[in-house]
Amino acid sequence: MLVVAGRVLFGGYFLMMALNHFKNRAMMVGYAASKGVPQASVAVVGSGILLLLGGIYIVFGFYIPAAVLFLTLFLVPVSFKMHAFWAVTDPQMKMAEQVNFMKNMALLGAVWMMLAIPQPWVPGIM
């Protein structure tokens, strides 16, 4: 039962992030552009799709290798491009970016651990 609750919480986090990408698209595009992301509009929509699929697959416990791939494809580039704290000079902004970078690295570790849970995941039992 705890694994199901964990899947809902963990996958739900990515679903909420995906919703934010679509709901606040204009703001997200502006932020991505300010960080030098090429084709920021396409990147925001694409990253939202990665989050959506990864979150759904974890919540429902299917296509786990695909979920891990999608979330890895989101977390790695976003962490290094959007949260490059080592390049920030303002101390408060540097700390905020470092917190976000480290959070993403922890999420990435947890995503990779999903592959260690024997598959297939049986919905409602694990």
Each domain of the chain, given as residue ranges in start order, spans 2-116
Convert the pLDDT of each residue in 14-42 to its tens digit.
Answer: 999 999 999 999 999 999 999 999 999 99
pTM: 0.91
Q: What is the pLDDT of residue 121?
A: 77
CA 30 – CA 39 distance, rounded (Å): 11
Q: Which residue do the tokens 């101390």 mark? A: 91
Convert the pLDDT of each residue in 48-88 to its tens digit.
Answer: 999 999 999 999 998 999 999 999 999 999 999 999 999 99
CA 36 – CA 19 distance, rounded (Å): 23
Asked if residues 9 and 59 have their Cβ atoms less than 8 Å apart, the reply is: no
| DSSP annotation of 112 | H
- Per DSSP, helices labelled H in the chain are 2-23, 25-34, 40-60, 64-82, 91-113
Cβ partners under 8 Å of residue 81, min gap 6: 35, 36, 37
Residues written for the chain: 126
